[in-house]
Amino acid sequence: MFCFVFGWSGWSHAAEPVLLEVRTEPTGGVKATATVLFPAPVSVIQSILTDYAHWPALFDVWMRIADLSVQEGVTTLDVRIAHALLPGERRLVTESRLLPNGELLSDLKGGDFTRYHRRWKLTPVEGGAQTSAEFELSVEIESVVPDWLVAVAMKRDLEAHFRIVKDKALAQVQQPGR
């Protein structure tokens, strides 16, 4: 097993560090867990994370939306991802839903992955002005790239993802009239 644990305090003077752990799984694939403090209410973070049409803007990795549909509260997203680690495009098809307890879940439906499960649990803190987010991602890609190398790239990509979400949240809460 290969494991990274990182604390990152470069968010703002009011934010706590991002606690990010990325490790290879004994059965294959990579798992990441994180606790992130976002400087915006849950409603803002939830709207950013569920704006699937603009999802590529939340990542430093090139991706495009091939198909997006919403049916009975379930969003099916077909994404094409190009990553320096992998030749060509990888296809990821997920189904995402907002659970009654407020968790955001996404699970693999198809594509070039053998496993994909993402969970966000958003909790209001500081009287609702900020959001504490628990994040979990389990991924296994059909590829010859070793899992330890996927873990290294995933750590870097998630740090960028959390930073981008934070920046978008700050921009929304700092808009006049909010």
Q: How far apart are CA 112 and CA 69, in angstroms?
A: 20
Kindly report the length of the chain: 178
Q: How far apart are CA 36 and CA 19, in angstroms?
A: 7
pLDDT at 143: 84
Q: What is the pLDDT of residues 110-164, one digit of tens each?
A: 999 999 999 999 999 999 999 999 999 999 988 888 999 999 999 999 999 999 9
pLDDT at 17: 57
The string of DSSP letters for 14-75 reads TPPPEEEEEEE-TTSSEEEEEEEEESS-HHHHHHHHT-GGGGGGG-SSEEEEEEEEEETTEE
Residue whose structure tokens are 């997006």: 68
Q: What is the pLDDT of residues 10-26, one digit of tens each?
A: 334 344 458 999 999 99
pLDDT at 132: 95
Q: What is the mean pLDDT of residues 39-64?
A: 94
Q: Are strands 30-38 and 62-71 parallel, antiparallel or unpaired?
A: unpaired
Say whether pLDDT at 91 is over 70. Answer: yes
pLDDT at 84: 82
Q: Which two tokens stand for residue 154?
A: 């995933």
46: CB partners within 8 A, 6+ apart: 98, 102, 104, 122
Q: Say whether domain 3-61+100-173 belongs to CATH 3.30.530.20.
A: yes
In this prediction the pTM is 0.87
Confidence of residue 105 (pLDDT cuts 50, 70, 90): very high
pLDDT at 14: 44
pLDDT at 178: 56
Say whether pLDDT at 2 is over 70. Answer: no
Q: Contact at 8 Å (CB) between 76 and 68? A: yes
pLDDT at 102: 85
Residue 30's nearest CA partner among 95, 115, 110, 90 is 115
Say whether pLDDT at 30 is over 70. Answer: yes
pLDDT at 176: 64
Question: What is the percent of the chain with per-residue pLDDT over 70, rounded to a whole number?
Answer: 89
Domain segments of the chain as ranges: 3-61+100-173
Q: Contact at 8 Å (CB) between 79 and 63? A: yes
